[in-house]
Structure 1
Amino acid sequence: MSHGKHFTLFSSVRAPNGWKVANVLNALGLSFEPIFLEIGGNTSDSDSHVKGPLHTKYNPNGRIPTLIDHKNNDFVLWESGAIYLYLIDKYDTEHKFSFSTPEERAQLTQWLFFQASGQGPYLGQASWFLRYHPEKVPSAIERYQNETRRILGVLESVLSKQEWLVGGKLTVADMIFVNYNKFLNFILGDDFDFAKEFPATFAWHTKVSESEGVKKTFEQQAKALAAQEEKEKAAKA
């Protein structure tokens, strides 16, 4: 593994969780080398698979993201919320995207937990039952679509009263949500109108997406996706 970069980030081209971590790395100006892993299929004996030996020697859970900090004795951490907290504790010493007070810090952590326990799992299950489950289960699809709207409703109830989630500024609490929001039309249908149904949340999502670090992440993902699609196209030729 090359240590030319500050960090190694185990990620996936298409799945959002690794890119969530890229948001913070880019916002803080920290260099990283991504290793894109396959998620589906039955190739867990391959180093290119998320459950393969290359990855699971660092992350026994075999899920992305996993981060290695080569400038801190190759410190390894997995679970995106934990990675977020580590990065701001160690590298956001000026609290540009975090806070120094215990109260604001607790509120920031609250939103990280809400994303990890609410938005991520519910949208992930919605995607599973819509695309990957071997049988169509309408009741499951309906449940997770409803939960997706409920999560958006929680955000809307807060963001209709304030510009950012915590402390009146852009923080990592805002950054952690935007990558999953890109899947809303897939989950809720092409007729879902984000701006109309949840106007404050849509406006917030747009501002976060246009912030320097997150915008760079989206550009990196678009480049990686284009390369992956070319690779897949060549393999079929």
Structure 2
Amino acid sequence: MTYDNVFKKWPAQHPERIQLYSLGTPNGQKVSIALEEMALPYEVHRIEIMKDDQFTDEFIAINPNSKIPAIIDPNGPNNEPFAVFESGAILMYLAEKSGKFLPTDPAARSECLQWLFFQMGGIGPMFGQFGHFHTFAKEKVPYAIERYRNEARRLLTVLDKQLSEKSFLIGDAYSIADMATFPWVGTLDWAYKAAESLQLHQDFPNVMTWYERCRQRPAAVRGLAVTQLTTN
């Protein structure tokens, strides 16, 4: 498949590199962090979701669901350009391409994917709903705020227990499960301003220690800044 119209709308200065279409949301940050950690050459294009970039025909060609992030790998399977959408699927694709941050041992691999899917199915959707009703909704709905606050705290409790005796989600090794999850913990504070409401530092010390451990990795620092720095 060719992506000529995509490249016309978002010209590639380095077409030999992976092309990342993203924004500085938790889902977008996962992928730029992974690209930095895996040392895969890439070029980033800022998708302005407030201007409906994600609903253009060009973006739909790489993500039919009109959500960031998405990538085009110019050297995909069979050395053909290949688009990938859904942040969890992108992380798996990049981990398999680079041979990094996804264990090859079957049991460890399964454990990593379980925690990755825990983020995709639980952390992301529920934290997102909490943030919407707690911070962004024009009308305050106490039932919705309380419902999603309780669910966010329940999920944080699961994380805190998992991290009580581990440096990272699956043990001593940093993985794509950590990359997927820690930006969502950060957004509870910097985007939703909900650290006090959720009692993050008081009730979830293991989560917050792990969050700082992940956030301060040099590749994470670079990845978190990517879509704020680009002008494309």
TM over 0.5: yes
Query: Quick one: distance in 1 between partners of 2:204 and 2:138?
Result: 32
Structure 1 18/192 Cα, relative in aligned 2: closer, same or farther at 3 Å?
A: same
Gaps of 5+ in 2: 1-6
Query: Quick one: distance in 2 between partners of 1:142 and 1:217?
Result: 33
Q: Which has the higher contact order (CA 8 A, sep 6+)?
A: 2
Partner of 1:9 in structure 2?
A: 20
**Runs of 4+ more than 4 Å apart:** 189-193
Query: Quick one: distance in 2 between partners of 1:122 and 1:207?
Result: 23
Structure 1 196/190 Cα, relative in aligned 2: closer, same or farther at 3 Å?
A: closer
Q: Which stretch shows the higher mean deviation, 157-166 or 179-188? A: 179-188
For residues 19-69 of structure 1, what are the alpha-carbon distances to aligned partners after superposition, in whole Å with 9 as ceiling and x for unaligned? 1111110001112222222324xx54xxxx111222111111111111110
Q: Does residue 90 of the first structure (1) align with residue 94 of the second (2)?
A: no
Partner of 2:3 in structure 1?
A: none
Gaps of 5+ in 1: 229-237
Query: Quick one: distance in 1 between partners of 2:86 and 2:123?
Result: 15
Offset, 1:156: 0.4
Offset, 1:75: 0.6
TM, length-normalised to structure 1: 0.83
Partner of 1:231 in structure 2?
A: none
Contact 1:129 1:140 in 2 (8 A): yes
Specify which structure has the higher proportion of helix. 2
Q: After TM superposition, list the pairs within 5 Å mapping 1:176-215 onto structure 2.
A: 176-185=180-189, 186=192, 188-190=194-196, 193-215=199-221
Partner of 1:23 in structure 2?
A: 33
Q: Which amino acid aligns with 1:7?
A: I
Structure 1 193/129 Cα, relative in aligned 2: closer, same or farther at 3 Å?
A: closer
Aligned to 1:183, what secondary structure does the other structure show? helix
Query: Quick one: distance in 1 between partners of 2:196 and 2:95?
Result: 37
Q: Which amino acid aligns with 2:173?
A: K
Q: How many residues align?
A: 216
Q: After TM superposition, list the pairs within 5 Å mapping 1:39-118 onto structure 2.
A: 39-40=49-50, 44=52, 49-72=53-76, 73-92=80-99, 95=100, 97-118=101-122
TM, length-normalised to structure 2: 0.85
Contact 2:44 2:227 in 1 (8 A): no
Percent identity of the aligned residues? Answer: 32
Contact 2:32 2:223 in 1 (8 A): yes
Q: Does residue 146 of the first structure (1) align with residue 146 of the second (2)?
A: no
